[in-house]
Every structure is written in C-alpha cells, then in structure tokens.
Amino acid sequence: MAVPPKVASRAAKLRAEIEEHNHAYYVVDAPTISDAEFDRLYRELEALEAAHPELVTPDSPTQRVGGTAASSFAAVRHRVPMLSIRTETDTSADAAAKFDARIRRELRLGDDDPAVEYMAELKFDGLAISLRYERGLLAVAATRGDGEVGEDVTANVRTIRAIPQRLRGTKAMPAVLEVRGEVYLTRRDFDALNARQQAAGLKLYINPRNTAAGAVRQLDPAMTATRPLRFFAYGLGETVGWRVPATQSELFDVLAGCGLPVNRDRRVARGAAELSAFHREVEARRAELPFEIDGVVYKVNQIALQQQLGFVTREPRWAVAHKFPAEEMTTEVLAIDVQVGRTGALTPVARLKPIFVGGVTVTNATLHNEDEIRRKDVRVGDAVIVRRAGDVIPEIVKVLVEQRPPRTRAFVMPERCPECGSKVVRLPDEAVARCSGGLVCPAQRKQALLHFASRRAMDIEGLGDKLVDQLVDANLVHTPADLYKLGIAALAELERMAEKSAANIVAAIDRSRSTTLARFIFALGIRHVGETTAKDLARHFGNLDALIEAGEAALLEVRDVGAVLAQSLLQFFAEPHNREVIAQLRAAEVHWPEESLQRAPVGALAGMTFVLTGTLPTISREEAKDRIERLGGKVAGSVSKKTTYVIAGSDPGSKLDRANELGVAVLDESKFKDLIDGVR
C-alpha cells in the first residue's frame, strides 16, 4: 500500500526539522526549542516510520540510536593515512620559535623574507576519528588504528548527534569527502556520567579521554548512544570531486558550512611570536574551557606549503603539538571541608593557600575520601606539594611531614551531612561515605528528581535535565513531592517553556500519580536498589508499609538481597526526612492498583532463569520480562549453564549461539506464550 503523499511530506519535513534542531543544539550551541518540544517532534517521526517502514531513510534521526551489536570491528584501510602530529618535547615558550625556525629552513626562507603564516589550534584530549562522506551521506567512520588501518565504528558514530548524517550547504556534493576530527566528552558531561555510575554502585571512569574512546569502541551501539559524546572537525583525508581550500583557516570555515562542528578557539598567527602568544593565552585559561586539552597545535596555514613540506615517517613536517608543562608547587592546607555530591557522596576538599599551578590559581584540591586522607595523612596546617592531575584536577601529591606544625589533628569525617543534617553512612567494603537524606538533601536534589521522573521509575515525560535545573534553581521544587504541586502558570514562566509545553508537563506529572509499587520503590532512588530488586521487594512484601517496617532478617529473605543492600534499605527508611517525603507523595495521591497490595504467591516460574535475545514479533522485551517476573521467574542478561530457556526473536545475535553451544532450550514467541499460558 502506497504511503499517502501528505504522510511522506510530513516525515520529510520532520526529518529536516529535527536535524536542524540537532545542529542548533550540538554544533551551534544555541537551541531554539525546549527539550519537551524536540521529544514531541522525534516521537511523531518515530510513529510515522513505524506505521510506514518504507519511509525510513539511512540518514533519518531515528536511525542514530540502536543497531545490532557487533562481535568485533571490521578493518578499514585509510586511503590517506591518519598520521600523528609530532609532539614537541620542549614545553617552554621556546618550542614555538624552534618550530618556526625549522619550517623556515625547510622552505629555505631568509631573514628578510616575510613571516610564515600558521593556524594555531587547540590540542584536544579525545579519540581521533575519520568520517567518510559519499555524495554528502555518512558512509564509514573509522578509528585511527595504526594510521594505515583502523576499525569500522560507523554504527557507534551514527549515535553521536553532533556528527551530521548528511552534509549541509552545497548542492553539488563531492563524491568523497573524508573529514578528520576528535570525539570527546565535556567535563560537565563526564562528571554527570560518573555521578550516574556512582549512584548505580558501578565503577567510576578514570578520565574523559579514555571514556570517550571506550564509548566509541563499544560493541553495542545502544551503549554508545547513552554516552554524551561530542565532536570537533579539524582536517581532511581523501577527497574526490571537491575543491580543497587554499588554507587551513579557510578549511575550518568550509567544514562549518557543511554542518560539521569546529572549535572557535583558533587563530591565524604570523611567526613565532604570535604562536607563543597563543600558547600563553590558552594555557592561562585552559581550566575555563568546557573540555580537556593538553596543549596547542601549530600548522602551516597554506595547504600548498603543507604539500611542499610533506611528511617524515608517520608525521607531517608542517605541524607540531606544543604541550603545556605539568607543574608541582608547594603550598599550605588552610582547612579541610566536606562537599556533598549529587549522589550523596561526601568528598573532603583541602582549602589551600592560593598558588599558581599550570597556568591557573589553585585554591582547592580534592582529597577523594577518608581513606585517602589517612593514607597521605593530610592535616590542616601542613605544607603540601600540589599538582594538577592530568593537567586539570588539582591534587595533593605529598605532605611535607618534616615541616608539620605541632599539635595538628587527624581529619575525622562528620557524622551528619553538612548540607541537610541527615546521618552520614558508610556501607561495608565502600571507600565513600554518603548522606542518607537522598530525597531532601539540597546537594542531591537534582539527581533525585531526574531519577524519580525517569522512564523506568515514575515515567514523567518531558521532565529532563534542563527543566529540573530550572525548577531547583528557582526554588519551585525541593523534593519529588513538590512536583505534584506545580501548576501551568508557574511552569510557563520558566525559560523556553510556553503555556502548551507547561500544560503537557503538568499532565505528565498527573498521569504519574497512578503507578506500580515496584516503580515507586525504584523511583525513591535507594542506593543499590535497581529495577529488578524493586520488583522483588514489591512482590515479596506486597505493600509499602511492610517494606518500610521490615527488619534486617525480613529483608534478607527477599531474593538476591544481601547484607549490603539490606543495610542500605534500613538506613534509607530510618531517615525521618525520607519517610516525610513518602508521606507527602501519598498525600499527593500517588498510588498503585489494589492488587499490588496483596503479597504475591510464589510464581509458577519460580526457580527458572530466562534470557531474551532478538526482536519478538508482537510483544516487546519489556513486556516479556514483566510476564516472566510476575510468575516468579528471573530474567538474566547472559546465557549460562543455569539458564532454563532462551527466548529468541529475529536477529538474535551471539546469545542464541551460546544457548546452542550449552544445549539450553530455545523458545520462539509462540512457544513462550504457550509456556506462560500453560502455567497460569
């Protein structure tokens, strides 16, 4: 059946409009609509493409997320090698003069000849990527690899919204345009990602560079899509049917005109003096940049001169990286304060006598946790050596014990949260002490609200990061219960929030009043309580009051609840502030169906473990998982000898192979339904 012309036209318009908003948000950094309005347009396009699959195009915004997980990456041979820029070992200001002198010698320029023109850029601390566009469409994305052969990471790179699927601007698209650039994470996004890791009890990432590289090389593109990756373009690979700009500076302008993000911190510099000035200026304000850098890059600006200078081994002669020096300085610890993070983690911070380190004045240094302070034995009044870790985060390297003043005292972590007065707890086998007042602690407020509103919790559509920031900053919301007091008028006064958008948010909040006990427990954000544990608790206790009043012995009876998780539950419900917020939520008529209040009997699938793989024809994986768990079964993420059944749909992947290898029974959707119907 042919697609109605109006539907096809609307889909095309939506695709163009969504990409325009993506460009405004991720490339220009000047969004023109609210997140809720963007989500509405995206969902409309999704619905049209679901109803008419023939409308789906390779460059549709809906094709950015997901895809089939790869077992490994295919090799990609670079038509034009991806060479590394030589790094100057001399980090002093003399490095620019040495580079300029070498270039002048190579070009056989005399003292009377004019200064060489260079492009001075930032040296990003990310992952180098090559993007191959064919007739304007992104065809292949590859890592640098060894410079000659990289890895095909196209499916993952398509999830990066800053990278256009289709080039903009010119009507006559080149047959081939390979763009070289850097994938990176901003400091803010990296901190937020680590906050989520910490809240989930997972291992923290080391630094933005490694995290970005690991995300691009994920075997599952859906995992890459959860990482807020960004991109800057700065060079070329192979080109066919395209006029190469005359200068590096012009290249940046042309790439920006194609819809590719380019960094604005660049300058045409004439001679060594202007290169050195750029280096000094960037070093002085590098800490203010939203992303990490470890130096600057100098390139001969004229492309013709670049070609004349050529290459040596694996490096271009016409470019050099001028890194910043790592500095260590001695100062004094004036005080040790405690900061409360968005996940409740208490971090001791040393307040320092101001010292100039690595181009910035440092007044604070993180001490990480109580164990780290004891290991280094940092005390108020100590003389310490300070370094900017990774050239970015100040840290205390060493205490000069021989200079310690008399009668200093060892640091002791406070027993009460400095932000809200709630009890400070430290669970077994954890280095981090935490505030137990999650729902009321000001420092944790935004994270608690975002988790509460998330899709798998209370599912309040449209309540995202930016809106939560405004609600908290405007003192409109202090706890999740305050969400249910919001009106359209108050919301409509917020930035980028029209009356219609405000009405949609209020309606979404109102819909969330009716939920399930499991979702409500998960929404509370209790440490170590994930979605599956919340379902187990709801199924075991049957009602919220029984869970709140349960002792340790009763909690340990719940499937997969151990001593650490039981302590986390006890500490959360023992905090009066948390009980008060729960009471307020109930008063706001947040409720769940009556049948959820009855203790669930042991299900007919108790003791069975299922693994889902592929796409089922008529039911979603979430629905299948819910049916299994309602009957007492467990859904696992990987196949093992303990797996009872593997339920396989289309495109099942390696889990089906593993099931066949271990001799685990495999069910299609029809047989799965027969099993479910037969045990009810």
Strands (E) located in 311-357: 311-312, 315-316, 319-323, 328-340, 346-357
Residues 665, 639: Cα–Cα separation, whole Å: 11
Residues 486 and 480: beta-carbon distance below 8 Å: no
User: Which residue type occupies 459?
Assistant: D
Which of 6, 13, 98, 123 does the annotation list as catalytic? 123
Judge whether 376 counts as a catalytic residue.
Answer: no
In the block, tokens 């991720």 appear at 26
Contacts of 245 (CB under 8 A, 6+ apart): 251, 253, 254, 303
In the block, tokens 């559509």 appear at 461
Q: What b/e sequence results for 491-523 when a residue is b if at least 16 CB atoms lie within 10 Å of its CB, and e otherwise?
A: bbebeebeeebbebbbebbeebeebebbbbbbb
Neighbours of 356 (CB within 10 A): 11
In the block, tokens 């409740």 appear at 344
For residue 293, give the H/E element and its range: strand 293-300
| Residue 331, strand partner residues | 384
Enter the DSSP assignment of 437.
Answer: -
Alpha carbon separation from 257 to 23, 221, 531, 655 (Å, rounded) = 11, 28, 45, 44
Question: Between helices 271-285 and 94-106, what is the axis angle to 10°?
Answer: 140
Enter the DSSP assignment of 24.
Answer: I
Alpha carbon separation from 239 to 81, 136, 151, 166, 317 (Å, rounded) = 13, 12, 20, 16, 21
> What is the per-residue DSSP string for 100-115?
HHHHHHHTT--TTSPP
Contacts of 64 (CB under 8 A, 6+ apart): 158, 159, 160, 161, 165, 225
Pairing of β 346-357 and β 328-340: antiparallel
> What is the per-residue DSSP string for 539-564?
HHH-SHHHHHH--HHHHHTSTT--HH
Residues 620, 654: Cα–Cα separation, whole Å: 20
Neighbours of 185 (CB within 10 A): 28
Q: Which of 540, 440, 539 is nearest to 480 (CA)?
A: 440
Residues 43, 25: Cα–Cα separation, whole Å: 18
Residues 8, 53: Cα–Cα separation, whole Å: 11
User: Which residue type occupies 315?
Assistant: E
Residues 665, 511: Cα–Cα separation, whole Å: 41
- Nearest 5°: the CA angle 451, 518, 558 is 115
Active-site residue list: 123
